[in-house]
Amino acid sequence: MNIHSVDVYILDLPTIRPHQLAMHTIVEQTIVIACITDEEGREGWGEVATIGGASYGESTPEAIKVNVDTYITPHLLGENPVHFDKVMHDVSLHVRGNHFAKALVETAVIDLAAKIKNVPAYELFGGQIHSSLPVAWTLASGDTGKDIEEAQEMLHQRRHNIFKLKIGKGDPYQNVQHVLEIQKAVGDQARLTVDVNQAWDEYTANDCIAVLEDGGVSMIEQPLPTWDQEGMSRLTSRFKVPIMADEAANTVQDAFQIAKYRAGNSIALKVCKAGGMTQTKKVAAIAEGAGLGLYGGTMIESTLGTAICAHLYATIPGFTFGTELFGPLLFKDKITTNPIKYENFEIVIPDGPGFGMEIDKEKVKHYARAWKVMT
């Protein structure tokens, strides 16, 4: 049952509409997937997603693939996937950083380990607490009228009643008015949050957050650059509205520093930025111990990557702000034969061995930049 081969693919998936963030507008999302095969031919599949090449973070799709192929794979071959914590510990001794690359291989190893045991992956993390979780939708067209129409349609379909607005691009004060108009339109039917993606300085944040708080916005995500922990701490102590750390909250060490200095009073979890599922659960434990609220974040993964996050989040007791696992709904196509289910404003946790997703290899081949015939 030991690991026999590791194959990594970069895929570019088209989206149903432009998705505007502070640093990049997504019209085609890049994901990186890995297939790890054992000696008996069983496959485990993992995924991470990036945003805008190097515009969101340091891990680019190309670097993830090269580093897995060159530096991580030699430490996987011949190892027992069931002992995935040992496997990843050994990798960490030889490979520094590279959290996205480590998350990619760890999720594939865990999928394989769960399939060997014939259990859902969440069973390897203490078992399922939630069978479904609240899921937010990001309104990111940049057009107020379109965003209001989109929000009202989501409410009508009972698909989402939590909405996030990306407001880091353009004039901050115009963006605040954009948010307030949408808040007025949806009223008490939905909860609104905003994500600044590090785009403000502290002066701008003080002005804008005061208006957003008065307008009923329920959370402000990463208003300041990742390095400005002192500024985040001042904002957290000044305002009643929760201040969330996202880009600043990656590793267990980051989470500890945020908790220690109150550089935010909530944290967005993401499997890729922490370096894998095991590390993400450690981040969640630090947050829980420090009384920080949790949000189940996304890098806009496909059905596979969304299932990975959902399986882990299903084992974590509380999400103050719900989750953001809407990725599959933003894509024109999927790379699995089965879908992710959304109903009654929630995402349903997939069942079945591993992450519960069946890979459509023809779709992988279609969207991959280069395709290796598997043997």
**Domain holding 53: CATH number?**
3.30.390.10
Assess whether 286 and 362 both reside in one domain: no
Assess whether 40 and 179 both reside in one domain: no
Contacts of 93 (CB under 8 A, 6+ apart): none
Q: Is residue 207 part of a domain?
A: yes
Assess whether 60 and 176 both reside in one domain: no
Q: Print the domain residue range for 246.
A: 124-348
Identify the pLDDT of residue 372: 65
Assess whether 108 and 129 both reside in one domain: no
Q: Kindly report, residue by residue over 203-239, the tens digit of the pLDDT.
A: 999 999 999 999 999 999 999 999 999 999 999 999 9
Assess whether 308 and 170 both reside in one domain: yes
Q: Is residue 374 part of a domain?
A: no
Assess whether 102 and 144 both reside in one domain: no
Assess whether 107 and 174 both reside in one domain: no
Assess whether 145 and 277 both reside in one domain: yes
Binned at pLDDT 50, 70 and 90, residue 19 comes out as: confident
Q: Kindly report, residue by residue over 40-95, the tens digit of the pLDDT.
A: 999 999 999 998 777 777 889 999 999 999 999 999 999 999 999 999 999 999 99
Q: Is residue 373 part of a domain?
A: no
Identify the pLDDT of residue 373: 58
Contact 349, 133 (CB under 8 A): yes
Q: Is residue 247 part of a domain?
A: yes
Q: What is the average pLDDT value for the chain, to the nearest integer?
A: 94
Cα separation values, 89 from 5, 67, 102, 151, Å: 19, 17, 10, 44
Q: Kindly report, residue by residue over 161-182, the tens digit of the pLDDT.
A: 999 999 998 999 999 999 999 9
Average pLDDT over residues 289-297: 96
Assess whether 169 and 181 both reside in one domain: yes
Q: Does the pLDDT of residue 371 top 80, yes or no?
A: no
Identify the pLDDT of residue 375: 43
Residue 198 sits in a domain whose CATH number is 3.20.20.120
Domain count, the chain: 2
Q: What is the C-alpha to C-alpha distance for residues 134 and 89, in angstroms, rounded to an integer?
A: 33
Q: Is residue 372 part of a domain?
A: no
Assess whether 64 and 142 both reside in one domain: no
Assess whether 220 and 338 both reside in one domain: yes
Point out the residues that are catalytic: 166
- 134, β-bridge pairs: 346
Instruction: State the pairing for strand pair 132-134/137-139.
Output: unpaired
Give the orientation angle of helix 252-261 with respect to helix 229-238, to 10 degrees.
50
Q: Is residue 14 part of a domain?
A: yes
